[in-house]
């Protein structure tokens, strides 16, 4: 992992500021959704991308009934011969 030489402190609300230089380099304007996860003893910040519920693809995704589905999986679903029934 490459060090940037930038140190920030956590404030009383548990927040940190991502420096403007890094936000510009990674194209992260205000409002960019960030995924936070851990890997070993590291905390990873990653630009969030919608992923298909079925295959995990991030390309050509759409929201359908509160689920994210890519166009390939949506086409596969259209080919199913079953009918939806409202419960």
Structural domains in the chain plus CATH codes: 1-48 (2.10.260.10), 50-87 (no CATH)
Q: How many residues does the chain have?
A: 87
Burial of 73 (0-12, 13-18, 19+ CB in 10 A): buried
**Confidence band, pLDDT 50/70/90 cuts, at residue 17:** very high
- CB-based contact 64:73 (threshold 8 Å): no
Indicate the pTM of the whole model. 0.56
The contacts of residue 63 (CB under 8 Å, 6+ apart) are 50, 69
pLDDT in tens, 26-63: 999 999 999 999 999 999 998 888 889 999 898 999 88
């Amino acid at each position: 992992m490459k060090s940037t030489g930038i140190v920030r402190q956590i404030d009383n609300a548990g927040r940190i500021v991502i420096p403007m230089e890094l936000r510009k380099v990674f194209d992260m304007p205000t409002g960019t959704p960030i995924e936070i996860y851990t890997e070993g003893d590291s905390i990873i910040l990653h630009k969030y991308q919608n992923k298909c519920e079925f295959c995990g693809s991030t390309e050509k995704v759409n929201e359908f009934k509160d689920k994210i589905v890519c166009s390939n999986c949506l086409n596969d679903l259209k080919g199913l011969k079953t009918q939806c029934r409202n419960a």
